Every structure is written in structure tokens, then in C-alpha cells.
């Protein structure tokens, strides 16, 4: 009897969500989730201690990239710049 392992990685979960998209709304939802995920990873990267010595230009560029991910997610979800989310 062949025994298959159940390997569930973050990449495989994303692939399942993408392959399960049937409509344009599903695609928009997936893209918004991915943009938010990329933004969260970017903020975590910026906060790493080894990046404290990178300088102000690097920090401005990194933060602009992260903010771009969140702006794209808001655009996909139809949220305007004036709307606020509080967690």
C-alpha cells in the first residue's frame, strides 16, 4: 500500500486558492490577499535589525514598495484612500 504524505506549505495553499478561482471576483480576492501578504512580508523585512544600517534612501524605497502592495490591495478591493481600517 502506497502511503502519501500530506505536505501543506504556504505555496501549495496559495496554489489551491488560485486554481480554485472561478470568477473575476475570486481572482480579485486572491490578488488582494497576495498583495497584503507581500506587504506584510515587506514590513517584517524592513524591521529586521540588519537593515538598520542600509540608509535613508534604501528605507524610503523599501517603504514605498510595501505601501504600493497595500495600495494595490485597496484598489482591488475597491477601498478608497480616505477609508480607514483599524485592527
**pLDDT tens, residue by residue, 6-51:** 556 666 666 776 777 778 777 778 888 888 888 888 888 888 888 7
Place of cell 470568477: 23
Per-residue pLDDT at 56 exceeds 70:
yes
Q: What digits encode the pLDDT tens for the residues 73-86? A: 888 877 776 665 55
Q: What single-letter DSSP state applies at residue 78?
A: T
**Residue 18 falls inside a structural domain:** no
Cβ atoms 66, 42 nearer than 8 A:
yes
**Residue 87 falls inside a structural domain:** no
- Residues across the chain: 87
Task: Between 27 and 60, name the one with better pLDDT.
Answer: 60
Cell of 46: 524592513
Task: Please count the CA atoms within 13 angstroms of the CA of 79 that sit on its side-chain side.
Answer: 14
**Residue 49 falls inside a structural domain:** yes
**What is the number of structural domains in the chain?**
1
Q: What single-letter DSSP state applies at residue 81?
A: T
Q: Which of 45, 47, 48 is nearest to 37 (CA)?
A: 45
Per-residue pLDDT at 61 exceeds 70:
yes
Region 61-81: mean pLDDT is 82
Residue 49: give the domain boundaries.
Answer: 23-77
**Residue 66 falls inside a structural domain:** yes
pLDDT score recorded for residue 87: 43
Task: Between 19 and 4, name the one with better pLDDT.
Answer: 19
**Residue 64 falls inside a structural domain:** yes
**Residue 69 falls inside a structural domain:** yes
**Residue 60 falls inside a structural domain:** yes
**Residue 44 falls inside a structural domain:** yes
Amino acid at each position: 500500500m502506497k502511503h502519501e504524505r500530506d505536505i501543506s506549505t504556504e505555496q501549495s495553499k496559495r496554489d489551491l486558492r488560485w486554481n480554485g478561482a472561478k470568477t473575476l471576483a475570486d481572482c480579485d480576492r486572491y490578488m488582494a490577499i497576495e498583495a497584503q501578504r507581500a506587504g506584510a512580508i515587506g514590513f517584517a523585512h524592513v524591521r529586521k535589525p540588519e537593515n538598520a544600517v542600509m540608509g535613508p534612501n534604501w528605507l524610503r524605497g523599501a517603504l514605498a514598495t510595501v505601501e504600493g502592495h497595500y495600495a494595490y490591495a485597496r484598489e482591488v478591493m475597491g477601498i478608497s484612500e480616505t477609508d480607514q481600517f483599524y485592527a
